[in-house]
Each structure stands twice: as C-alpha cells, then as structure tokens.
Amino acid sequence: MLGNIGFTLELINMFLLFKVLLGYSFRTNRSALAVAALLAVFHYAGFFLLSSDMLWELNILWKIIPVVIPVLCFQGRKLVVLGIGLCMDVVFELMQYLCWGGSIIALKGKTDTLDPSMTYVGGLVFTSIIILGLTVILNQKKINLYQLTEQMNPFSFVPFLLCAIIIHYNSWYFGDIFNERAQITFGENLIKNGITGLIILAFFLICLVLVNQRKELRRMILFNEKCIQEQTEQYQLQGKTDMELRRFRHDHKEHFAVIRKLAEADSAQRVLSYLDEINVVEESLRFISSNNVIGDAIFNRYESLCREAGIFLSVDGKFPDHLLIAETDLCIILSNGLKNAYDAARKCRGNRGIEVSIENDGEHFLFISVRNSCCESLELRNSIPVTNSDDKRNHGLGTRNMTEAARRAGGSITWREENGQVVTEIMIPV
C-alpha cells in the first residue's frame, strides 16, 4: 500500500516539476500517453499482486518507470527530460535520507516501529512543498525555466548522477545495525548523505546557471552588435535615399518638360509609359519613417527585400518618443518578426503582403501587429510557433528570442492564424 502511495507522490512531484515549475506542455501524441498510462497501471498492479520478494527483485524496474513516464508525457527534448527525471529521482532518495535519519535520531535509535517506506513518503511530501515554493518564487521574478532547460546539454546531468551513485554506495550506507547507539550513528550518516547530495545538487545548479549566464552574455553582445549594425545600415540607407531624392527633385523640371513635349505630340501611350518609369524611380526612393531609428532600419531593409521579391509591405503608425524597452530587445523583436513574416510570405504564390500596425494606447502599452501571408498552417508548442525547418535544433530560435525579449521588457507576444494569414501580436510597456 505504501509503495503505491509513494509512486503516486512521485508522479505528482514529476507533474509539479515539469508542468508547474519548468513549464512543459503535455504531448499531443496519444500513443505515448497511452503507453505512460499502461506503465502506471502496471506499477500499481505489481504492488497489489506480487510478493515482497518479487517486488525487491523488480526494484530497479519500479525506479525506472517514474523516470520514463515524464519522457512519454511531456513535450521537449527526450534526453533532457530523461536527465531531469533521473536527477529528480535522486532528489527523492536524498529527501528520504533526511527524513529517515531525522526519524531515527528523533526516536533515539529505537527503530523497531520505524518503516523506511513511511520516511520515503515523508520525503516526497517535503519535495512537493519545496517545488511549490520554488514555483511561487520564480513566478514572482518572471523567470522562464523551460527555455533554459531545453537548451541544456544532456551530458551535463552526468556529473551529478555519478556523484549521487558514489554517495549511495559509500561506506556510510551498509551493514546490519542492532544497538541504539549504532542506529543513531546510522541516522546521522543518512543525514550526512542527504545534505552532501543536496550540496552537490546546489553546486551543479549553480554551475548550470553560470554557464547559462555566460551564454546569455555572449548572446547579448551579439544582439548589441546587430543593433549597432542595424543603426549603421539605417544611417547609410537614409543618406543614400536623401541623395537620390535630391537628384530626383533636381531633375523634376526636365521630367515635366519631357512630359509636356510628349503630350504636345499627342502621344498618350508614351506619356503613360514615361510616368510609369518615374513612378518606379519614386517607389525606389520610398523611405519608411516610424519615429524610431531601430524601427526605421529594420522596416526599410525589409521594404527593399520585399520590393525585390514582389511582396507588398505597409507600415502604419509611429513609435512614441520614449520607450521603456531596451534597443537591443526592440531590435530582436522587430528583426525576427519581420524576418519570419518575410520568409513565410516569400513561400506563397499570388498576392503576397506584410502589414505592420503600430498603436499606442497613450498610457501604458504599445501594440505592434505583424500580419503576413502564409501558405503553411501555423503550429504552436508552448504558445510559440514550431519551425518547419528540418534542422529544428538550429532553427526556431528567433521566436523564442522574441518571447524572451518581450518578457524582459514586461510585455508579451502571441501568434495566431487568421484567414490564411499569420498574425503576430506584440505588446510592450511604454
């Protein structure tokens, strides 16, 4: 009975860890979910139908099942989910050490009525409380752990798991103990095991955080360089456009003179052709002004790309004079948003377009809407579009970067499909 209670608490803790704390979503694959359910039923049935000796012989299997079930239930990189599940199983055992050792000391070595299974259940209850506490703290700080865990190298779990094996099989944890003094010593050693394991876990997590911060710093340096490059290209483009515009205005008298002569010669078709040529020149001199140097740089670069690809791009609205969002984060959001819209529209046939709308409610938020043609259905995972590229490891990072940039600014981004178009809704505070 206690075995099934412990298994139930293990599943609850796994659910709290992956779904509540880390933010994983359940798989949509019903076959995988069905296999997970069958494993759970098999585990429950085993504790009711098998003898104690058989249960002991199958102990490894009973420990593997709670680790495998999250891999079948939650979306994400399977090796990462498996590594987290294995580490979580180690944490369960460490918490049991603490409860078991604490119970022995509290009973002053009189352990005749002490059931180790009860201490395991107690350890699982304390684990649930810790996970819920961490969830509350991290939610208040708006820390998204899903992106961090999915970017982890699966081999980074190996050092902690090796240390856990060494702790489990060290000299503190073996032998039959009979007298009360020896039981107390055994309890103290169990507590030392648990504390040592948790310290190693903390060191392991700190190392992962430091490595992630280093990667984040490198990424921010790249984003800063990209932001500077966007602004430099913007100034160059604006200077070139101004020069071409001055040349066009300088020659406008000559253009009118030519049109006049063509009209006097009663050559309406040639007049229309000449006006079309002027219109082409004028379109090439089009400059989008959004009242923001980052926005101008990105919009005008993609306006040029869209014009060459035969895609219509319109930008309606202006940015306010002051924005709370960092220029690098604004650059990340706009550049990735326009790039995704451009790539999607370029795959379509017929009328292709991208419409950008910028609206300010005048008080708290700026709303940016990017609507683009799309010939492929939109698939979302954890509210983020799934890339259609075969190389999913190195693609699809743009939307995740956009989400993180909006989150840092206190805003949000949502994607939806509407009438054959993909609509990206961006909300950032002002």
Q: What digits encode the pLDDT tens for the residues 146-205?
A: 777 877 788 888 888 888 777 766 644 444 556 777 788 888 888 888 888 888 888 888
User: Are the C-beta atoms of residues 35 and 43 closer than 8 Å to each other?
Assistant: no
pLDDT score, position 157: 84
Residue 369 pLDDT > 90: yes
Residue 373 pLDDT > 70: yes
**Residue bearing tokens 């999607």:** 344
Q: CA 87, CA 226: separation in Å to the nearest integer?
A: 38
Residue 391 pLDDT > 50: no
Strand-strand pairing, 365-373 and 353-360: antiparallel
Residue 170: DSSP 8-state: S
Q: CA 225, CA 352: separation in Å to the nearest integer?
A: 32
**Rounded to 10 degrees, what is the CA torsion of 29, 30, 31, 32?**
60
pLDDT score, position 341: 92
Residue 370 pLDDT > 90: yes
**Least confident range of 63-67, 143-147, 412-416:** 143-147
pLDDT score, position 393: 47
pLDDT score, position 379: 83
At 49, is the pLDDT very low, low, confident or very high (cuts 50, 70, 90)? confident
Looking at per-residue pLDDT, the higher value among 263 and 37 belongs to 37
Interval 395-409: pLDDT, tens = 457 888 888 888 888
pLDDT score, position 377: 82
Burial-class residue 332 by CB neighbours within 10 Å (0-12, 13-18, 19+).
buried
User: Are the C-beta atoms of residues 88 and 14 closer than 8 Å to each other?
Assistant: yes
**Least confident range of 3-17, 52-66, 268-282, 365-379:** 268-282
Residue 250 pLDDT > 80: no
Q: What single letter denotes the amino acid at residue 229?
A: Q
Residue 351 pLDDT > 60: yes
Structure tokens given for 297: 């740089």
Structure tokens given for 379: 């698939």
Residue 229 pLDDT > 60: yes
**Residue bearing tokens 């949509």:** 28
Interacting residues of 135 by C-beta distance below 8 A, sequence separation 6+:
16, 20, 21
Give the pLDDT mean for 233-258.
58
Strand-strand pairing, 353-360 and 312-316: parallel
Provide the terminal-to-terminal Cα distance of the chain, rounded to the nearest Å: 57
The average confidence (pLDDT) of the chain is: 79
Half-sphere exposure (Cβ direction) of 260: Cα atoms closer than 13 Å: 6
pLDDT score, position 4: 75
Q: What backbone phi and psi angles, to 5 degrees, belong to 67?
A: -80, -35
Looking at per-residue pLDDT, the higher value among 307 and 219 belongs to 307
> How many helices and strands in the chain, by DSSP H and E?
14, 7
pLDDT score, position 174: 41
pLDDT score, position 263: 63
Interval 55-82: pLDDT, tens = 667 777 777 888 889 999 998 888 988 9
